[in-house]
Every structure is written in structure tokens, then in C-alpha cells.
Amino acid sequence: MTSFPPGDDNTVEAAVCRMVTNRGSEAEGPPESPRLIEDCLPTLPSSPSKKTSSTKRKQYYINRAIRNSDLTPKAKGRKSLRRLENNRYLMSLLERDECVAAAADEVDSCICASPSIFAEACNNEIYIEIWNDFMNRSGEEQEKVLAYLEQEVRKPREKMNKCKDKRTEHPAYSPEECYQRINRSLRCTLRRRQIPMGTLEVLEEEMLSFFSVTPASVYIALMENSYQRLLLHAVCQYMDLASASSNLEGKRQMRVVNRNREFCPPELLLSSYLQMKC
């Protein structure tokens, strides 16, 4: 037990304080040194050994954080997520504004390059005079003028439609009507005799292949066989073609021409029609 000199209260209090301080320091032990960040990082998950240098572990987690931030940025909280969404929305608006500005620049350049028809009409004295004359007329007269202009615009289209070949749509272009185009003597010959269908099909195929490619050309062929010429005449009349035979240096020559602007063969050929009737 420690003895204190009598009558010295200050000395006693100081000694007690020193004893309490020494006991507290002995219980706590020596002070710890501060830990580094590298020591707090966990070991690499892909590493087989637990003893990995702190530098490698630090670089690994830095690289993983960079990859995650580049590929899929993730917000940790609601505020961060909202800021991220707002940032993306603003970026989309920026890109949209840039596209609109680029399109507006292109439109402005086109307008500057080529003036509109209305601008040209306003600068033309003849057009202005016609416009003023039209505006000074009554409503009925203006309607008559507009109807006349519409009719004038419609005329070229009607002419084009008339010139277009519509024989296949007409009921007179049916197989029966095509057969009736053949003259009576040829029809009697086709009914009485046994027709060689092979020869007839060859002639049909030759006409189809020729006039389907070149409808405005003239088909010329030498044919000494009179029966083949007869069949060719029948095929041409059935297909609405004009055929004629003539002498050329003592030989018979066949000449076939398409009388229409386009070549529209019947859906049912003559050989098929004759087989169907028999």
C-alpha cells in the first residue's frame, strides 16, 4: 500500500490521478497503428491462393469498377437513379435537337438553292396579271375556270388509259371468241382432219417466244409444207396476229406481224382449246 505524507492534500490527489492513469494504460495495451486500404480489401475471388499482394487486389477491384461503370452504370439509391435517368433524358433531347438543327439547316440550304414556284410566280408579271384577273371574277366564274383546268389536266391521263391494251379484260378476248376469229374454211379444216398436235404446239411456242420478247418485230420463216403454213395461219388468227405467205426465189415464205402495240396471247392456246372441244 502506498503511503502519503500527512497534510498535503494536493500531493495525494496528484498521486491518485497518476495511479488511475497507469492502470488504464496497462489495461488498454499499446496503441494500434493505422490500417492501410490495401489491408481492408478482400482476396481475389478468382485467385486460388489466399495470399495475394495488396497491389494486385487493389488493381483488380479498380478494373472491375471501371468495367461496371462503362458497361452498365448502376445507381445505388433513388436519388442517384433519378439523376442517371434525368441525365439520359437530357442527352436524348440534345441528340434530338442536333438532328432537328441539322434537318433545318438542310431545308434552309434547299430553300436558298431553289426558290419555290410561288416565289417565282410572285416575281412574274404575267402570272400576277392572270392571278389578279382570276381574283376579280365572281365565284361562279372562278368555279368554271377551276373545272376547266381540272378537265385539261385529266385529258392526258384518259388518253394514256385508252392507249393501254385491255384486250385480256374484254369478254371478246375469251377462247371462244379467239377461235371465231379464224376464218370459216380454216375452222372446217381443223374440225374435219386429225390435227397433229405436236406440230401445232411447236408453232404456238415459236409465236409466243418471238412476240413476247419483241412485239413490234416481224417474224419471217421459210415453209415449204403447205399444211404447216395452214396451221400457222390458224395460230396467227387465233392470237390476233396478221400472217401472209409469199414467194421468195421459188420458195414459200411466211411473214407474221403484230397489229397491236402489245402482244397479249390468249390464256388458253389453240391446241388446248381443240383438245377440250374433242
Query: 240 or 172: whose pLDDT is higher?
Result: 240
Q: What is the pLDDT of residues 11-66, one digit of tens each?
A: 545 554 555 455 544 444 555 555 555 455 555 555 444 556 666 776 676 666 65
pLDDT recorded at residue 206: 92
Range of the domain at 221: 170-277
Residue 83 lies in a domain: no
Q: How big is the CA angle at 147 (ends 144 and 149), to the nearest 5 degrees? A: 110
User: Residue 115: what pLDDT?
Assistant: 59
* Total number of domains in the chain: 2
Query: Cell 436558298 maps to which residue?
Result: 112
Determine the average pLDDT of the residues in 251-264: 90
Model confidence over 140-167: pLDDT tens digits? Answer: 887 887 888 788 777 776 666 555 545 4
Q: Answer whether residue 138 is part of any domain.
A: no
Q: Which of 23, 51, 71 is the last residue of a domain?
A: 71
What pLDDT is stored for residue 211 in this prediction? 92
Question: For residue 29, is it left (φ>0), alpha (ψ between -120 and 50) or beta?
Answer: left
- pLDDT attached to residue 19: 54
Q: Do the domain assignments include residue 147? A: no
For the chain, the average pLDDT equals 72
Confidence (pLDDT) at 63: 65
Does 50 reside within a domain? yes
For residue 256, the tally of other CB atoms under 10 A from its CB is 22
Whether the pLDDT of residue 110 is over 60: the answer is no
Domain boundary among 28, 48, 71: 71
Q: Per the domain annotation, does 93 fall within a domain?
A: no
- Max distance between CA atoms of the chain, in angstroms, equals 170
Does the global pTM surpass 0.75? no
From the number of C-beta atoms within 10 Å of its C-beta (0-12, 13-18, 19+), residue 29 rates as: exposed
Residue type, 57: R
CATH number at residue 234: 3.30.1370.50
pLDDT digits (tens, 9 = 90+) for 165-193: 454 455 556 888 888 999 998 888 888 77
- Domain annotation covers residue 201: yes
- Residue 262 domain-assigned (yes or no): yes
- pLDDT tops 60 at residue 95: no
Name beta bridge partners: 254: 221, 245
Residue 260 in domain: yes
Q: What is the DSSP string of the chain?
A: -----TT-HHHHHHHHHHHHHHHHHHHH-SPPPPPPHHHHSPPPTT-S-S---HHHHHHHHHHHHHHHHHH----SSHHHHHHHHHHHHHHHHHHHHHHHHHHHHHHHHHHHHS--HHHHHHH-HHHHHHHHHHHTS-HHHHHHHHHHHHHHHHHHHHHHHHHS--GGGSGGGSHHHHHHTS-HHHHHHHHHS---HHHHHHHHHHHHHHHHH-TTSEEEEE---HHHHHHHHHHHHHTTEEEEEEEETTEEEEEEEE-SSS----SS-HHHHHHHH-
Kindly indicate the confidence band of residue 138, based on its pLDDT and cuts at 50, 70 and 90.
confident
